[in-house]
A and B are shown apart, each in its own frame.
Chain A
């Protein structure tokens, strides 16, 4: 981990927290966790995707984590710690740090935009610069379609972009992978919603070539069963 990135992150946190306390803005919090099980190459894989915040209306500490767990080991695991600042009615600007525990330890600086786009699309877009200077970006958007008040279909898209090839991680430059998903959940309560989801992952460009060389496939379709909790 490069010290300056840690420093930037620490500075972000340090500037955020006093502001939280100073504005007389009552502190609230939010946590959303999605955890599911899927099968990849005949192997059961557990996945999680969680985020939450603590703070007032304008300034929040926002954390995010996601990863995969298989055969007793973390395959992928990342955490982000962000300062989130209200910049317009529906949008927060975010900056802070990301740390990947797996597949290999790596730290990043993060700058992003999260909020609600017209037509009620939840959007999370972020750019990352790794400690070795590699630039990447991620764009995620989800929508909602109600069948009933509790049975809700959530289509989603997630795109990953990289500035340069990194054959060691089977990553090609440009749009490297896209995931198109549909999650069907039943909200027994707002806080407790089991779901099934279908996800189609496709690699593009050099990433597709790298993956084809490795596994013979540049795409995969996953069926997931999971639980979404919110509190």
Chain B
């Protein structure tokens, strides 16, 4: 019920004129009980709800946020994607000491940017327990696109048990939650379906995974999620209203702890106008993948008398988040079918694993899970299936072009290679094979331009989030490279981003899959020199 209320609050507050804008915001972090899909669990709320209240700021505003901790453990809030002073960034142990029980911490910063962002807890796994909410910063000058109405769509994955328990289970047995492993009957099916030499490939592929001690069905670490739109389950069916003829701006935020989504609204083209709060050259798509912690703003033009399902399929196809766009509250439209669960391909593991060098790329690829859903690999594949003539247009990183170039277009002074690594068997994650606890900070010099090259040597996608500094995605767009606060790197993939080091202090830099950050895929970045503003 409370979560429903939160959804309504977000929906309606988006309609309230900015007259209600104040310079001081008061937030309280508190425990609450939440019933999702019939199961009541303890969670953590912001001002009594999850998602918490929308913070609607204005570019140039001096913001004061008082955050009171009424939990019996430390807490914190981090303003995701907002460029601010290092001590206001809200990461315990890096930006500040955290907020002790009973204390109030006052955050002060100037909103020097505009767009869709979000804020969330940065202590332990509190974000998974419900501590997240949207931020909208209205631009000083009108956005370079038109719309009549807007809705925030904050996607989340609510776990049906304590996330701490889930992590403890993964430490006991890393495939604890995987009930999609390959059986002997799968082998029999693949064998009988294969013809001639393909039969050898079937066996060889099995053996190759076995040699690597890896499992192609290991797509996500945890199962048992309910997928939520603005705090509401698919059955609740969050409702977003429009009037006939309106252009509607949908501000998508992926606040999930473990879940990538593929988002579509059957019957509507979506024109993507912002990525991570930054204007991009508009691109019309039928579907877009959204990594954890990313935001995408899209414009849709629904037709009078129609209702539309906002359908966000979890990457592993274990479920979906759903809402409805319509003229009347409570309307529903047809819900698309959830496609088959994807499996990892041996080709995806082509990089970084010398012990299967004999495997020709594509040789033993199992595309069974991908047959009807070209989109599942869109993030990973820059060579992009969506560019084929047929089939739906799915957004990929190659489509992202800044609307206007950013001021610093220098070639990078140096390159820092970060291998994304982990030990699936023991369930811990690392960068360059070193866990956060055993690693010193990465050092950047104030004023330099650094190329960060991510090499993902694991089987999972990792949404890497750099605090305090923008990452200009190197996606072949040159001067029009888009900038992002979160970049996802697919299994076996290498992606670079150029960073203008223009903010002094210490910053967090980590995978935004909470369990990965918590077990070691995390670094502190120290920017040496410069003056704190």
Contact = CB atoms under 8 A, between A and B. Distances in A.
Nearest to B437: A24
Contacts of B169: 190
Contacts of A118: 210-213
B180 A149 contact: yes
Interface in B172-199: 172-173, 176, 179-185
Contacts of B426: 57, 86
Given A24-B437, A25-B437, A28-B171, A119 B211 contact: yes
Contacts of B171: 28, 30
B435 A149 contact: no
Interface residues of B, number: 26
B181 A149 contact: yes
B186 to A, nearest CB: 9
Given A118-B211, A147-B184, A230 B173 contact: yes
A28 B169 CA distance: 9
A198 interface: no
B182 A146 contact: yes
B97 interface: no
B435 A28 contact: no
Contacts of A148: 183, 185
- Size bracket, chain A contacts: 20 to 34
A120 B213 contact: yes
B311 interface: no
A4 interface: no
Interface in A189-231: 190, 230-231
B425 A116 contact: yes
Interface in B429-469: 435, 437-438
Interface in B415-431: 423, 425-426, 428
B259 to A, nearest CB: 21
A90 interface: yes
A86 B423 CA distance: 12
A146 B211 CA distance: 18
Nearest to B433: A89
A230 B176 CA distance: 11
Contacts of A230: 172-173
B181 A90 contact: no
B82 to A, nearest CB: 29
A164 interface: no
Contacts of B172: 28-30, 230-231
A149 B210 contact: no
A65 to B, nearest CB: 18
Contacts of B180: 149
B210 A120 contact: yes
B24 interface: no
A89 B183 CA distance: 25
A104 B176 CA distance: 39
A23 interface: yes
Contacts of B213: 90, 116, 118-120
B182 to A, nearest CB: 7
A145 interface: yes
A24 B438 CA distance: 9
B340 to A, nearest CB: 16
Contacts of A89: 423, 425
A90 B183 CA distance: 23
A146 B182 CA distance: 7
B41 interface: no
A30 B212 CA distance: 24
Contact of B183 (A30, A57, A147): A147
A40 to B, nearest CB: 32
A24 B181 CA distance: 33
B425 A147 contact: no
Contacts of A231: 172
A66 to B, nearest CB: 20
Interface string B280-295: 0000000000000000
A147 B183 CA distance: 5
A149 B179 contact: yes
A221 to B, nearest CB: 24
A146 B437 contact: no
B203 interface: no
A127 to B, nearest CB: 24
B181 A146 contact: yes
B267 to A, nearest CB: 36
B181 A57 contact: no
Given A28-B172, A190-B169, A57 B184 contact: no
A34 to B, nearest CB: 15
Interface in A111-129: 116, 118-120
Interface of A: 23-25, 28-30, 57, 86, 89-90, 116, 118-120, 145-150, 190, 230-231
5 A-B pairs with least C-beta separation: A119-B210, A28-B171, A146-B183, A149-B179, A30-B172
Given A23-B438, A116-B425, A190-B173, 15 more contacts: A23-B437, A28-B168, A30-B172, A30-B173, A57-B426, A57-B428, A86-B426, A90-B213, A119-B207, A119-B213, A120-B210, A146-B181, A147-B185, A148-B185, A149-B183
29 contacts: A23-B437, A24-B437, A28-B168, A30-B171, A30-B172, A30-B173, A57-B426, A57-B519, A86-B426, A89-B423, A90-B213, A118-B210, A118-B211, A119-B207, A119-B211, A120-B213, A146-B182, A146-B183, A146-B184, A147-B183, A147-B184, A148-B183, A149-B181, A149-B183, A190-B173, A190-B176, A230-B172, A230-B173, A231-B172
